[in-house]
Structure 1
Amino acid sequence: MTSDSAQLSLFDALPPAAEPEPAGAAPATPPAAAPIDQARAGQSTLNAHTPLTNAVKAYLQHIATTHLSPHTVKSFGYDLNILMEFAAPQRPVGQIAFRDLENFIDWLQNGRGVPCNAKSLSRRITALKAFFKWLNEIGAIDTDPAAPITQRPVATPLPDTLTDEQVRQVLAAAGELRHHAEQPDARPLLLVKLLLKTGIKKSECMALKLEHIDLSNPDEPALWIRYQDPRYHRKERKLRLEPAWAALLQEYSAQYQIAHALFPCTARNLEYVLAEVGQRAGLPKQLSFEMLRWTCAVADRRAGMTEETLRHKLGLSEERWHEVGPKIEKLAAPPL
């Protein structure tokens, strides 16, 4: 209960009487609503009679402020625009029923005249379910017509990882570049060891700065993964580094005159670095950020790291873990 609506007790002092406003004075300007109240006010205007196009616009504005990536927001917007193409933009959201959505899914596959592969269909069903669930949660519609729709997960192959022997070959190849007689280069080994130990993504790697590296305890150096965008603060985490990595960092910093960004180059440049290491190691497939990330995850799981700890280490949401976790389990399991 707020102070405006609270009842006074016998022990409360009476509020002072309001002073009359001087003649001709302009009326007092009411205080601006807090952002959260403004957002709620915007959502409360949606109801069963709201045209689909207005509801979609409000939903996209809402998810743009969440942890979803800009790519996901853009994809959901594209998918919901296709729904408007089928159902008409001005149709009230309260008139869209489960049968309509079933017909929409069938139209995507058979009637639209545009190919819709399994992955696209799965994402569009996800967008539908998320949109109508949100409308139901904010009270715009009484029932969620998309709730009975079953998701159709896409069966994707297991990712490529390195065997223990291949890891040794990769480290040896990167070590050869470090001690090259004509042009010694510590960067390949620094990068490979960083990715094998931390399992960070390419984008996280490119965002690293020297200030993110904690060498205060030589026996337990650490790496902070930071995000400037507040929507991704939940992904921030502190990861262990190998003690010997600190000396490698010093060597690399001297060679490349590192002052701020850990890798002052493009992501494509580092991809070439990994590709060259993989070729020197004789790998059958190209060495990549993704391959080293999965190799790290599988090694940690085999070493006994719990699923929850590993999920946090990789910076994954619970939703994303539902897809990634089982794959890691299969890759980490002993042979049958």
Structure 2
Amino acid sequence: MISPASIEARDSWLEAQKALKGASENTLSAYFTDVSEFLAFMTEYKGEQQGLGPLARLTVRDMRAWMAQMRSGDLSARSLARKLSAVKSFFRWLAEREGFDPTAVLSTRAPKFQKKLPRPLAPDAAQAVIETVEIQSKDAWVGARDTAVITLLYGCGLRISEALGLNRNEAPLPEVMRIIGKGGKERIVPVLPAAREAVDEYLRQCPYPLEQDGPLFIGVRGKRLSARQIQSVMQNVRLQLGLPPTATPHAMRHSFATHLLEASGDLRSIQELLGHASLSTTQAYTAVDTARLMDVYNRTHPKA
């Protein structure tokens, strides 16, 4: 059982993450789970509750024991790296508050893993997805709804949570839309005519009376549409079109960024459109583009 002092410290840290850094609910939930699991392990490993004093005295050996335990399961290197990052963040905050040296924790190295690069669709494949989505449902209004959502992902670079988080009073969509993304960060996104028209067509066909302060996109039972439903639609579409498993709703957002980059090369503007906090996140798209170009080079160059 985790000690009351450790629970209080964990909860105070989470409050600080939300108040000072604007962490999202999903991030806070992951932090809660990761740090709670760490504290529970240390309690079991040490054979007694770990109050703030014992936590301040954790050693490199203790950290290695936790890492070994994590690796003994099916946990991926990426997931372990995320858990370690949460634990380090907690200890960095705790050490500053309690006045101890957190070197043993902070010096623990994360396992190496290969970063997954985005897998964008080719422009014609992205267009085929949008055209095929509409015919996946027997109900015309559902097809119009799904088309509108997917068009927003590809045409505006929205995250699926951002598209499904729109409310009825935000439509008809303006030419420029204000989006509140991860961590409460705000960005301005141009809305293509095709996206505005797709949303208008969905509203024209939707059989439900939508409340102005309620969801824009709803399911067949009248509740806010879930990401799982759009993921299911994309799965059916990619099977029908013979696309790879990487053709997910999020891949439509990646395709938006990659196709803009290929056309303009303006990485900073794309960072702003996507709402990335760091330019390094956006720079992953340059790796995708380079990989694609190198593939073409190796296959076609006379000297290859």
TM-score (norm 1): 0.66
Aligned to 2:110: 151
* Higher alpha-carbon Rg: 1
Residue 243 (structure 1) aligned to one of 193, 197, 202:
193
Residues 138-175 of structure 1: per-residue CA shift (max 9 Å, x gap)? 35325543333333343243343211231232244346
Aligned to 1:209: 167
- Structure richer in helix, relative to its length: 2
| Partner-residue secondary structure (3-state), 1:335 | helix
Q: Is the 8 A contact 1:278 1:286 kept in 2?
A: no
Aligned to 1:304: 264
1:92-171 mapped onto 2 (5 Å cutoff): 92-93=53-54, 95-97=56-58, 100=59, 102-110=60-68, 114-115=72-73, 117-142=76-101, 144-171=103-130
Identity of aligned residues (%): 19
**Residues 54 and 73 of structure 1: is their aligned pair in 2 closer, same or farther, counting only changes over 3 Å?**
same
Residues 102-153 of structure 1: per-residue CA shift (max 9 Å, x gap)? 2123323546895254234323321332122112333532554333333334
Residues 281-306 of structure 1: per-residue CA shift (max 9 Å, x gap)? 34243742122122122223333364
Kindly provide the amino acid, as one letter, of the partner of residue 243 in structure 1: P
CA distance in 1, matches of 2:130, 2:57: 58
CA distance in 2, matches of 1:252, 1:111: 51
Aligned to 1:223: 177
Q: Is the 8 A contact 1:53 1:90 kept in 2?
A: no
Return structure 1 stretches of 4+ with deviation > 6 angstroms. none
Residue 285 (structure 2) aligned to one of 328, 332, 335:
328
Residues 19-40 of structure 1: per-residue CA shift (max 9 Å, x gap)? xxxxxxxxxxxxxxxxxxxxxx
Residue 72 (structure 1) aligned to one of 30, 34, 41:
30
CA distance in 2, matches of 1:269, 1:206: 11
CA distance in 1, matches of 2:94, 2:205: 56
**Residues 331 and 213 of structure 1: is their aligned pair in 2 closer, same or farther, counting only changes over 3 Å?**
farther
Unaligned runs of 5+ in 2: 220-224, 295-304
Unaligned runs of 5+ in 1: 1-50
Q: Is the 8 A contact 1:199 1:296 kept in 2?
A: yes
TM-score (norm 2): 0.72
**Residues 245 and 202 of structure 1: is their aligned pair in 2 closer, same or farther, counting only changes over 3 Å?**
closer
Residue 184 (structure 2) aligned to one of 202, 219, 233:
233
Residue 283 (structure 1) aligned to one of 233, 236, 243:
243
